[in-house]
Structure 1
Amino acid sequence: MKIITNRLSGVQVEPARTLRELLVRNRDLRMLWLGNLISVCGGWFSAVAVFAMVYEHSGAGLAAGLTLAVRYLPGVLAGVWGGVLADRADRRAVMLVTDVLMAALAAAFLLADDPGRLWLVYPLTFASAAAGFVFQAARNAWMPSLARPEEYPLYSAAVQVNGLVFQALGGAAGGLVVTVVGWRWAFAVNAVSFLLSAWLTATVRSGDRSAGSPSHGWLRSLREGVTVAVRTRVIAALLLLEALFCLGLGGTITAMTYLALRVHALGEGGTGWFYAVQGAVGGVVLVLAASRIRAMGPPGRHLVIGLSCLVEGGLTMLLGLPVGVLPALVLWGMISAAEVVYGPAAMTTLLTATSNETRGRVTSLWSATATLSLGVSAAVTGALVDRMGVAVFVVLGLLMAVAGAAWLAVHGRAPAASGTGAAPGRPVVP
């Protein structure tokens, strides 16, 4: 085990072995983690509220699908250029500005609570998502530098688990609040959560807040990021995997909304129960699996990536069967268990092939690839689900399973990363 000297105390410490160790020892990483955790909780309140409001005023699966599509598509443009910004500007400042902007936009959703003003949901969703992708690009470029390379799987799990834990709480609480007192309070909670996130971010000043002064223009910076992604074999492979897998994944969220509200008639906050199961099961599995993934080498992580996609696709196809609400929730939990192990394995693979100078652009390209596929899938599925019903899950699951099988066939032996890999001892992250 590599021993590293703490720069402040001079005491030699080993890299963290568990999520708990990482968060207890690393104060700055913990503050950013808490800020993101709080804003994610508010985001799930808002997600449940938006779907309930759209269904109430429109009653159409297509409308819900378009809402998801509008949420995803800004990642293609805002996310990519947000990555360029993250590699050119102060990453902490970008996060602070976008947090405050997202708080204002969250409160503005209250203006759309009327059939005649429902159209406001779409520009507000687009603007909120665009700001969120810029925030994410800055966070993914800065926050990894607060961890050590040996801690990348734990770092990735920490970022993912906060969303899952508060997805469970936010989904259940959001469903309860929307059902009992309506969606207006959910939007207010979301706005406050972004302000709390900004306050916690403001307390952190360490890490690689900047990649250095750029010596050329924005377009050339973007081209450099694309070149790194294309020429680094493992990054290019992950981009292709994301594109195909997310064509299935994006539609499952739209179809789940139909399943909860139309098939099982769980009420206005019905999607919250599915989100809660996904968050609870995924959070527990991720905490248990993070240390194991940390101990793996590249071959093991490559195997985890492929099997996760393959198993999730197979389980998703089973949702197309005519089952009751309890079996559907159990299946949804199993799908989450298969999905969550993908994040630490894939992010660690990506980070070890990326340097601090291009981290914002490469991770944003990866995110943009996923969000483009998610958005297209959500919109198409929204139109199909009103005609096909739950049978659409079979098509969506097949796409995910094919993506996993293709990865295993080509990368099952874990080819070594080539191109611009980060130095083994250099701290970098998502």
Structure 2
Amino acid sequence: MEPARTLRELLARNRDLRMLWLGNLVSACGGWFSAVAVFAMVYAHGGAGLAAGLTLAVRYLPGVLAGVWGGVLADRADRRAVTLVTDVLMAVFAVAFLLADDPGRLWLVYPLTFASAAAGFVFQAARNAWMPSLARPEEYPLYSAAVQVNGLVFQALGGVAGGLVVTAVGWRWAFAANAASFLLSAWLTASVRSGDRFAGVAPHGWWRSLREGIAMAARTRAIAALLLLEAVFCLGLGGTITAMTYLALRVHDLGQGGAGWFYGVQGVVGSVVLVVAASRIRALGPSGRHLVIGLSCLVEGVLTMLLGLPSGVLPALALWGLIAAAEVVYGPAAMTVLLTATPNEARGRVTSLWSATATLGLGVSAVGAGALLDRLDVGVVFALLGLPMAVAGGAWLAVHRRRDISGDGGRRIARSADGGPRTGH
């Protein structure tokens, strides 16, 4: 059978991939319910911009601490079993957020956010190592788009629905919905038994496994360039959610669930653009995909700098939608480059290292933006956030024009590339 050429073909033909995709779909919906609810809780109980930024930073931090070791685990253990266990753990943590629904216990948000995020990053490492093996290499752009679009679709539904639920009945039901989504995800995942569940890594020490994964990433030109790009770009990206939440709740006064409207616009626009663009990105060669990566970063950075200009809520939502359109084309291009350059036995460690690089920058950016929002105008903050994003994209394009960084066989660090991929808003 010929490789699938569209997202619809990929999901229609591949039953196991479709089941994992559906599992991620429902858990993404619950996750966006929770994101809206947590910010509403923090602001309702007296939290300021810095408190919201710290909440995001605590969510990102486990990507550096737990995520990297999750990648080692994914290359040593049964990847399916890891995803099942972490799904159940995230359901338990989602319910536990209800304990923080009091000003005196608001501090519980931070350890619970950390624990839930740590389980999520381990889940992501196992999924990212297992799920691509259910697709052919020629289908990697479609696979990446499928994973990304499920989050966007339910970001739209979950963000708007979460905003409505939080505004109408409070955040308690949003946390309950999040827990139910993780349990449903686990049930769907349990029906899948194919794919490369075991990487076949030699049973030597964990530290040695981690060092070998890092060394392989450093030797492979395409992977090293993506990691460098990631580090710079995410120094701006992480704070955009903190600033957007402030814009929705404090500037435009959209109510406790106001951030949900921005999440909703991002999900709708992003999913439509991604479905249309996925097959086109699949048809591109390595050079074309690298061009898409750089343009995505550059355009998103410029549009972010404009987001803080004085305007009404509708222009702000429209600009946020354009940012989403620029962002989503990045995922299929970057993930295809990464998966093509990474052998199966190191896939968990390399994808986790990629995620860790992103989350470190995202966390620093989230805290910095939160602190700046308590001191500077929101327009200035957006300008400061967009600048490194635009510079990263421009630098990537400049390097791309001067020399090839897409060759899969290149075994040296691309030291002159200083911008990068990201995990999404």
Question: Would the TM-score normalized by the shorter structure come out above 0.5?
Answer: yes
Match of 1:4 in 2: none
The structural deviation recorded for 1:213 is: 4.7
Give, as a single letter, the amino acid of the residue that structure 2 aligns with 1:408.
L
Residue ranges of structure 2 left out of the alignment (5+ in a row)? 413-422
Give the alignment partner of residue 409 of structure 2, picking from 411, 418, 429: 418
Match of 1:310 in 2: 298
Give the alignment partner of residue 331 of structure 2, picking from 343, 368, 383: 343
Q: Is the 8 A contact 1:44 1:174 kept in 2?
A: yes
Match of 1:172 in 2: 160
The structural deviation recorded for 1:184 is: 0.2
Which residues in structure 2 correspond to 1:187-266 (within 5 Å)? Answer: 187-266=175-254
Give the alignment partner of residue 384 of structure 2, picking from 387, 392, 395: 395
Q: Deviations over 1:177-230 (max 9, x none)?
A: 000000000000000000000000000000000101523110000001000111
Instruction: Give me the whole-angstrom Cα distance separating, in 2, the residues matched to 1:381 and 1:35.
Output: 33
Instruction: Give me the whole-angstrom Cα distance separating, in 2, the residues matched to 1:401 and 1:296.
Output: 23
Give, as a single letter, the amino acid of the residue that structure 2 aligns with 1:312.
E
Q: Is the 8 A contact 1:302 1:414 kept in 2?
A: no
Instruction: Give me the whole-angstrom Cα distance separating, in 2, the residues matched to 1:253 and 1:29.
Output: 30
Q: Is the 8 A contact 2:76 2:203 kept in 1?
A: no
Q: What percentage of aligned pairs have identical amino acids?
A: 84
Match of 1:138 in 2: 126
Give the alignment partner of residue 394 of structure 2, picking from 387, 402, 405: 405
The structural deviation recorded for 1:237 is: 0.6
Q: Does 1:376 align with 2:364?
A: yes
Match of 2:283 in 1: 295
User: Secondary structure in 2 aligned to 1:352?
Assistant: helix
Q: Is the 8 A contact 1:353 1:419 kept in 2?
A: no
Instruction: Give me the whole-angstrom Cα distance separating, in 2, the residues matched to 1:214 and 1:111.
Output: 43
The structural deviation recorded for 1:387 is: 1.3
User: Secondary structure in 2 aligned to 1:58?
Assistant: coil
User: Secondary structure in 2 aligned to 1:266?
Assistant: coil
Match of 1:47 in 2: 35
Match of 1:425 in 2: none
Give the alignment partner of residue 158 of structure 1, picking from 146, 149, 156: 146
Match of 2:416 in 1: none
Q: Does 1:25 align with 2:13?
A: yes
Q: Is the 8 A contact 1:79 1:137 kept in 2?
A: yes
Q: Is the 8 A contact 1:251 1:377 kept in 2?
A: yes
Q: Deviations over 1:152-179 (max 9, x none)?
A: 0000000000000000000000000000
The structural deviation recorded for 1:246 is: 0.6
Q: Deviations over 1:379-422 (max 9, x none)?
A: 1110001211222000111110000011111124543123589x
The structural deviation recorded for 1:77 is: 1.2
Q: TM-score, normalised by structure 1?
A: 0.94
Following TM superposition, the consecutive aligned residue runs of length 4 or more in structure 1 with deviations greater than 4 angstroms are none
Q: Does 1:129 align with 2:78?
A: no
Q: Is the 8 A contact 2:201 2:345 kept in 1?
A: no
User: Secondary structure in 2 aligned to 1:387?
Assistant: coil
Instruction: Give me the whole-angstrom Cα distance separating, in 2, the residues matched to 1:35 and 1:420.
Output: 37
Instruction: Give me the whole-angstrom Cα distance separating, in 2, the residues matched to 1:184 and 1:253.
Output: 22
Instruction: Give me the whole-angstrom Cα distance separating, in 2, the residues matched to 1:142 and 1:167.
Output: 24
Instruction: Give me the whole-angstrom Cα distance separating, in 1, the residues matched to 2:205 and 2:410.
Output: 23
User: Secondary structure in 1 aligned to 2:247?
Assistant: helix
Q: Deviations over 1:60-100 (max 9, x none)?
A: 01000000000001000111000000000000000000000
Worse-superposed segment, 404-413 or 307-316: 404-413
Give, as a single letter, the amino acid of the residue that structure 1 aligns with 2:409.
S
Instruction: Give me the whole-angstrom Cα distance separating, in 2, the residues matched to 1:222 and 1:305.
Output: 27
Structural RMSD (CA): 1.2
Give, as a single letter, the amino acid of the residue that structure 2 aligns with 1:82.
G
Match of 2:261 in 1: 273
Give, as a single letter, the amino acid of the residue that structure 1 aligns with 2:126.
A
Match of 1:104 in 2: 92
Give, as a single letter, the amino acid of the residue that structure 2 aligns with 1:56.
A
Instruction: Give me the whole-angstrom Cα distance separating, in 1, the residues matched to 2:162 and 2:384.
Output: 30
Q: Does 1:359 align with 2:350?
A: no
User: Secondary structure in 1 aligned to 2:368?
Assistant: helix
Instruction: Give me the whole-angstrom Cα distance separating, in 1, the residues matched to 2:257 and 2:133.
Output: 39
Q: Deviations over 1:262-288 (max 9, x none)?
A: 000000000000000000000000000
Residue ranges of structure 1 left out of the alignment (5+ in a row)? 1-12, 422-429
Instruction: Give me the whole-angstrom Cα distance separating, in 2, the residues matched to 1:109 and 1:167.
Output: 20
Q: TM-score, normalised by structure 2?
A: 0.95
Q: Deviations over 1:22-48 (max 9, x none)?
A: 000000000000001100000000000
